[in-house]
Amino acid sequence: MKASVIYAVAGWAASTMAKGINCEGSSSCLDQGGFLNPLADYITDNINGVDPNYWYANGEQIACKAHICAFLQKTEGGAPGSWVRDAVLAIKRHGCSACGSYPFFDNDVDKGELTVNYVKHGCGDGVCIGALNPKK
């Protein structure tokens, strides 16, 4: 009896642990394989790169390709472009091909994250706002 209680508590604790960097997203992400390669290029490109000093707010689309966009969630007041650039590259290095999330603090997405995911209305292909040299 005691062992089953211990196993139940251990299972509950594991399920409530913080989720770190991951490749999760909408089921629509499955149709967008390889998206992170051009997105990483878009936001790190010298011509249309994200300004490292631009401050992004939660939910603000940062860069998109069709319906897959990068945006912040659950941050306390947003994050600078320099964090965004690093986070997209970290998601790509993690092995994600279309969608994913990168936690900014304590490997816990609930404390603020950059998310790459399917959206109904994207801003087009490229950096949405905060570009060093915006498209005309």
Half-sphere exposure of 76 (CA within 13 A, CB side): 4
Total residues found in the chain within this entry: 136
Half-sphere exposure of 108 (CA within 13 A, CB side): 8
Give domain 20-127's CATH number out of 3.90.550.10, 3.40.1360.10, 3.30.430.10, 3.20.20.370: 3.30.430.10
Burial class (CB in 10 A: 0-12, 13-18, 19+), 76: exposed
pLDDT digits (tens, 9 = 90+) for 102-121: 999 999 999 999 999 999 99
Q: Reduce the DSSP state of residue 91 to 3 states and report it.
A: helix
pLDDT higher at 123 or 33:
123
Tell me what the mean pLDDT of segment 82-95 comes to.
88
Half-sphere exposure of 32 (CA within 13 A, CB side): 26
Q: How confident is the model at residue 95 (pLDDT cuts 50, 70, 90)?
A: confident
Select from 113, 109, 112 the least CA-distant residue to 76. Answer: 112
pLDDT digits (tens, 9 = 90+) for 22-79: 999 998 887 666 777 777 666 545 334 678 889 999 999 988 888 889 999 999 999 9
- pLDDT value of position 33: 66
- Written as six digits, the tokens of 94 are 């993690």
